[in-house]
A and B are shown apart, each in its own frame.
Chain A
């Protein structure tokens, strides 16, 4: 028997976190007398900031180490998972990683009665409104918390790692048991609060697990683009460029249709077109060419391609004009400018509702956390 765990994480920002979780599952399982094995998904390397990636851990009570490795080593991806961990809840909208094309459901690998385990402050129905419908039931569990984002060199030690281990023990004790998790953390770190964090997450997750039935979730809206197989390469390994095209207006710039990269974002820029002074900076400084110049010297944004870097919001000189908002608040990638043009007041009200009053503030060095601040006061007339 093999138990399979996959850890879905944001490239670079959560690389160390995912690796530590995967590695520790193996050590804890081996202390329980089982055999374990963990590895990263081969095709994810080299990772880029934000890109959805995977780390795997496999545990078996009866196979020899070589047998387990032969079964699970060097795979492009796994076919099924007993537990799919998601350490940034915005990935429930779907993931389009490095070596794949097309947006895939986050619960694609979860087996019947398996578990989707998400670090999230959202209610379960706020997550299942994005996940794909399945022909069978599986479990959904949440660990209360924000996505723990760190940089390549500075790890954010906020106990997410310990809490995920405790939660895995809760949703599938056949992988690792909570007593073994606690004992391991204590022996390794001599710090009781780490073992306690795992135990608390264990208790909380037992309460916060629900069953997702075949009626819940959505019919998956994304198609997998059809790409020619390797033997259909043209002479000289030529790849066709996107056709040259530009006109003013939404989608007026031709883009790479076979790889959109919108699932990279955790936040998206919401634009108040009525506040815009047409300085061009958002358009000029976007590293992903996401802005479409439109009439009236405004700039529409193509959310399907936006990676949520936040640069446009940072360079925009007008307060509250571009604000980064939680990606899970949005169902559609449709042009915000079309919305604004057809109903300016309605759009502005909608944008303010989405923005709310909380603002994400990130320090420069990534691994040092973030703050949620109250919006700075802006004249009420400007807020529509």
Chain B
């Protein structure tokens, strides 16, 4: 069996050792209970003050830039909707050139680009792909609230099957308008970019510190890296904001959003939904108004897809191949 590469990084071992200082601070206009804001808060905490962030258009741009004010303490720059990857490459290239020419001191400056599920997983995929083939040190975080949330909740390639969005309202003839199964972005990037050393999925709050340490690992291993986060969105998913953490935890425990790291090609589970009894997806779905219209039949379908992900896929929860591996017969 392949050994997982050892990454020397400063691990935060207990919640009490989490850095106290905020690099993304109070005074933003995200919704009550916004989990994407938690991604911002914790990636910047983990990366620390010597970090430059760029952010694609979306909630985490618009809600964090009210007129002439900012909650960012680290330098942050807005970039276009599909430009997460190219902004990361440009920033890293500029830093490298400035250091080579002696215009700024040689030091490690983290470059992190974040983008939403529409901006990164749909529109900006080619730019991220290009970034993952460079030799720059950069981290791309795709924060996935499962919709184009900023423009009032339109379906994207990452919206859960069956969910109501502005683009997919349930009607009297057609109950389900979001027919697409969630795009499997992180594995697509890992499979497609064999030299990319670190790809992971995460949730900002569950398990505690998991995301925080993944950011630290990604920044320590070097080269281009990628993390896909799972962000419950009280506005678009329609649940009371106090339950953000619970909804995230249920998403992971039900196995609908698999948690893992792929380090130098080796997969390791951060929450092993193969081994632990998976919470029925029903418990996750019925707590959200975006699924208020679905019926048992739909829940059974979603459950069967999740079960197939974990029971039938060659690499459970990650790669949707189902064995075979024989020479072609025709």
Contacts and interface: CB of A to CB of B under 8 A. Distances in A.
A51 interface: yes
Interface string A233-274: 000000111101010100001111111110011000000000
A231 interface: no
Contacts of A51: 29, 31
B137 interface: no
A288 B26 contact: yes
B67 A49 contact: no
CB-CB nearest 9 A-B residue pairs: A256-B27, A310-B242, A151-B238, A49-B31, A309-B32, A364-B287, A246-B21, A305-B26, A309-B33
B177 to A, nearest CB: 12
B242 A257 contact: no
Looking at chain A's contact residues, is the secondary structure mostly helix, strand, loop, or mixed? loop
Given A98-B66, A152-B238, A255 B26 contact: yes
A216 interface: no
Interface string A299-325: 000100101111101110000000010
B106 interface: no
Interface in B12-71: 15-16, 18, 20-22, 24-35, 37-38, 41, 49, 59, 62-63, 65-71
A222 B173 CA distance: 53
A313 B242 CA distance: 8
Contacts of A137: none
A173 interface: no
B30 A287 contact: yes
A293 interface: yes
Given A362-B242, A365-B238, A254 B33 contact: no
Contacts of B31: 11-12, 48-51
Contacts of B75: 241
B91 interface: no
B223 interface: no
Contact of B151 (A46, A281, A367): A46
A121 B18 CA distance: 43
Looking at chain B's contact residues, is the secondary structure mostly helix, strand, loop, or mixed? loop
Interface in B67-92: 67-75
Contact of A253 (B21, B67, B72): B21
7 contacts: A50-B32, A260-B27, A287-B32, A287-B244, A302-B26, A305-B27, A311-B242
A285 B15 CA distance: 11
Interface residues of B, number: 62
A363 interface: yes
A101 B69 contact: yes
Nearest to A240: B70
Interface in B277-315: 286-290, 292
A277 interface: no
Contacts of B66: 98, 101, 259
A279 B18 CA distance: 12
A45 B59 CA distance: 12
Given A242-B25, A364-B287, A285 B236 contact: no
A254 B73 contact: yes
A218 interface: no
Contacts of B22: 246, 253, 289
A378 interface: no
B69 A258 contact: yes
A301 to B, nearest CB: 11
B240 interface: yes
Contact of B34 (A47, A280, A287): A287
Nearest to B164: A153
Interface in A38-95: 45-51
B15 A153 contact: no
Contacts of A211: none
B243 A314 contact: yes
B20 A246 contact: yes
A302 B27 CA distance: 11
Interface of B: 15-16, 18, 20-22, 24-35, 37-38, 41, 49, 59, 62-63, 65-75, 150-153, 164, 205, 208, 234-236, 238-247, 286-290, 292
Nearest to B42: A284
A281 B238 CA distance: 24
A287 B41 contact: yes
A256 B49 CA distance: 17
Nearest to A260: B27
A220 B75 CA distance: 36
A154 interface: yes
A307 B34 CA distance: 11
A284 B29 contact: no
Contacts of A151: 238-239, 289
Nearest to B41: A289
Contacts of B292: 153-154, 365
Contact of B25 (A253, A281, A293, A307): A253
B28 A284 contact: no
A366 B33 CA distance: 13
A290 B73 CA distance: 15
B37 A287 contact: yes
Contacts of B286: 364
A305 B28 CA distance: 9
B289 A152 contact: yes
Nearest to A292: B20
A21 B71 CA distance: 35
Contact of A280 (B15, B65, B70, B152): B15
Nearest to B239: A364
A101 B67 CA distance: 8
Given A46-B62, A48-B30, A50-B32, A153 B242 contact: no
B24 A49 contact: no
A365 B289 contact: yes
Given A48-B235, A367-B289, A362 B15 contact: no
A228 interface: yes
Contacts of A379: none
B21, B22, B26, B33, most chain A CB atoms within 10 A: B26
Nearest to A302: B26
